[in-house]
Structure 1
């Protein structure tokens, strides 16, 4: 009957709301309209000292059960970029985690921006970069104060724009801020668009459109199969070996797979748009947050690629 017995990820992937479909279509169009094998895919992940295979052949005796750690242990944060030509030379960033929560906390914006600038130096011609909507990828330059900011912050922000104000104007401060707030914010990663590059961000829960996710799976499988000492030094060595194993041929196959997914999704979006948004509402709690990247706009002072951010 066409059913498969498999694990479900729990996500509600039926049909999305109108503004999500529009954003989805714009993002996919940017990728479909380019040579997908020249697109550069960015992402970060983490590997733990306790990486090990989940299953093995055993007769439940101590000698055949093998040794596996009881916890994940310390971890490394990994960032890289690649295309159908393989990984970008000197594009690897590896550093030990200093946090105990989500590994995304380790990659702050200053660290990402420093790595991204180094990456851009290797591309002299305009290139399409695709990355997810992680907060570190898109930070507002000279962020406008909000009602939660101290009034001293508001005064400083206004004075930097040569607006006459003093600390006694408590009730008028935020009104002045709103009056002088830029229509479209500027983002620090606009350095890419200034060099002629195009930055495209994926919507939340759409990581399957990034082939580097498949690369991470292959690299981690190599680490788990060969990790014997469960030390962070050993894991880093295996990580570097695993990255070498994923050659351009392997990358090209993964990009081809994602290209087919993108073409299918783009076709479905086009059909939905032609039929004036066939839509099923899944509830108020299913609003998709701002993806942190831009949609098409006439304003060139917007998101990473110089466009205005998507809004719900």
Structure 2
């Protein structure tokens, strides 16, 4: 959506997807949506994971609140800072391993519950935005011009 019309046309051309140069940006975006999946980038790690029955989940950029490792890692880091007395790597390693064993199961389940709440909140916001923005879309057709003709004609 943030791409310029020229950039969208460039993408469609690079993928050999036909379009008319006179199309407006909204129509071009519709065409992109139709062809996006078949032209999306494929990554070696995804192919390797798929061979083992694993699906790689990509998190949206700039949304660390949806990454359970960030959430859990922050708590583990806080524990290390609180309990590290000698500031030697051996102690940090020992504290890290103890922290993983001690808190992993209990904290991980609360971490996942927290992430699910964040996802639900974002889904709700998405629906609100969709409902509000839909009210601002104005469809103009050729027949609409008749509504503004003068009575003198």
Shorter-normalised TM range? 0.5 to 0.7
The match for 2:44 among 188, 213, 232 is: 188
Post-superposition offset of 1:207: 0.7
CA distance in 1, matches of 2:40, 2:74: 38
Q: Which residue of 1 aligns with 2:54?
A: 197
Map 1:68-79 to 2 at 5 A: none
Post-superposition offset of 1:220: 1.4
Q: Which residue of 2 aligns with 1:211?
A: 68
Q: 1:268 to 1:221 in 2, by over 3 A?
A: same
Post-superposition offset of 1:226: 1.7
Q: 1:189 to 1:236 in 2, by over 3 A?
A: same
Whichever structure has more strand as a proportion of its residues is 1
Post-superposition offset of 1:277: 6.7
- Residues 1:240 and 2:62 are matched in the alignment: no
Q: 1:255 to 1:277 in 2, by over 3 A?
A: farther
Q: Indicate the structure whose relative CO is greater, using CA pairs within 8 Å and at least 6 residues apart.
A: 1
Post-superposition offset of 1:231: 1.2
Whichever structure has more helix as a proportion of its residues is 2
Q: Which residue of 1 aligns with 2:146?
A: none
Question: TM-score by structure 1 length?
Answer: 0.29
Question: TM-score by structure 2 length?
Answer: 0.55
CA distance in 2, matches of 1:195, 1:277: 42
Map 1:1-312 to 2 at 5 A: 18=1, 183-190=39-46, 191-276=48-133
Deviation above 6 Å: which 4+ runs of structure 1?
Answer: none
Q: Which runs of 5+ in 2 are unaligned?
A: 3-38, 136-153
Post-superposition offset of 1:274: 3.6
Report which of the two structures shows the higher radius of gyration computed on alpha carbons.
Answer: 2
Q: Is the contact made by 1:223 and 1:235 (CA closer than 8 Å) also made in structure 2? A: yes
Q: Root-mean-square deviation (CA), in Å? A: 2.5
Q: Which runs of 5+ in 1 are unaligned?
A: 1-17, 20-182, 279-312
